[in-house]
Amino acid sequence: MMAVTYQFIITREDWSLHRKGEVDQHRHREKVREAIKKNLADIVSEEAIIMSDGRRVVKIPIRSLEQYRFRYDSRKQKHAGQGDGKSKVGDVIGSDSQQAPGQGPGAGEDPGQDYYEADVTIEEIEQIVFEELSLPNLQEKKNKKLASQSLEFKDVRRYGLQSNIDRKRTILEVLKRNALHGTPGLHGITPEDLRYKTWEVVPKFESSAVVLAMMDTSGSMGPFEKYIARSFFFWMVRFLRTKYENVEIVFLAHHTEAKEVTEEEFFTKGESGGTRCSSVYQLALEIINTRYPQEDYNIYAFHFSDGDNLTSDNEKCIRLIDQLLLKCNLVGYGEIEGPYYYTSTLNSYYKRITHSRFVSVSIRDKTGVYPALKAFFKKTEQGEGRLNE
């Protein structure tokens, strides 16, 4: 019988050989994304990000990936099976209980997993953090502003730019003309056969919104409490300015008295004194009534405090929140439970509010900032994303 020899030829045109770098790069991006998601609660509250200008590069630990490969014994050593040949199914080979009392398992022999740090920009983190966030309960308002413009090809004409030739329509014209002349087929293209796509500028309008950021800056707000509040508002501001064109942010700070401040003062300036939370709610209502009519704006109010409020002021706070709920799409309250946490009089009063558009969260450590963002900016069936016309 004649032996048959098969010959395989690999040419330079085999592009599957050139995609390894692309595949490895894609896998690397996926591992980076997976690492960010796994450590998102810690990353969001990272001090190096919050205290910076927002253009920092963060290092994320990522488990390295090894390629599968055969390993050959270079010394040609012989290997044998384990045991003395007297074992049977069910026998216990080894147990931690066999160790002497008070001793650990000892030095391990198993290899560990290799990790390396990948540089990740704030923009990459934002993309993952913000993909699950949205302004809730968005409604269409009378006051619409131009958010963006896009080009849409809506017509086909006989004259236009050479780069806008509609190949499909041109071929159809050639086929029709040749068929009518009794010479079917794709041949003899003439200038009369050419068709060009034309476009129109389509404006997209977005309903306006305003967000009132309210922060307690009284003496009871220590460094930890202020850091948590500023961490939340740092990500809130970046989220709003990244995903929405027509959102205004009003910054309000308060102790016993409330005042409107600049963004820089809001994130850097400290205060002292007692706490009267009703003052900031009263100021928020005045600003809404004078500058942001309900029929023109989607209105949101978010307040962060340590909950240490004057007991005599709590009932007034509830009455003012009820008034805010009549005008706002959502009212959020975040209470920061510091290292010396005690039962807050303010939080216990707010438990009586059962309105669906009132959301309250408690934060005990840095990892609570990201869950607070998700609680306040949770996507709803009504009004997800932006409202365009």
pLDDT tens track for 190-243: 888 888 887 776 666 567 899 999 999 988 888 889 999 999 999 999 999 988
Are residue 258 and residue 358 in the same domain, yes or no? yes
Are residue 214 and residue 348 in the same domain, yes or no? yes
Domain span at residue 35 reads 16-64+115-130
Are residue 215 and residue 350 in the same domain, yes or no? yes
Number of domains in the chain: 3
CA–CA separation, 251 and 253 (whole Å): 7
In a domain, 139, yes or no: no
- pLDDT bucket at 71, cuts 50 / 70 / 90: low
- Is the model's pLDDT at 45 over the cut of 90? no
In a domain, 199, yes or no: yes
Are residue 199 and residue 225 in the same domain, yes or no? no
- pLDDT bucket at 70, cuts 50 / 70 / 90: low
In a domain, 79, yes or no: no
- 281-314 confidence digits (pLDDT tens): 999 999 999 999 998 899 999 999 988 888 889 9
Burial class (CB in 10 A: 0-12, 13-18, 19+), 375: middle
Are residue 175 and residue 218 in the same domain, yes or no? no
> How much is the average pLDDT of 128-152?
75
Q: Which residues does residue 235 pair with via DSSP β-bridges, in sequence order?
A: none
Chain-wide mean pLDDT for the chain?
78
Are residue 242 and residue 300 in the same domain, yes or no? yes
- 161-201 confidence digits (pLDDT tens): 777 888 888 888 888 888 888 888 888 888 888 888 877 76
The domain that holds 333 is classified in CATH as 3.40.50.410
CA–CA separation, 55 and 171 (whole Å): 51
CA–CA separation, 256 and 113 (whole Å): 54
- pLDDT bucket at 378, cuts 50 / 70 / 90: confident
- pLDDT bucket at 369, cuts 50 / 70 / 90: very high
Is residue 313 within 8 Å of 277, Cβ to Cβ? Answer: yes
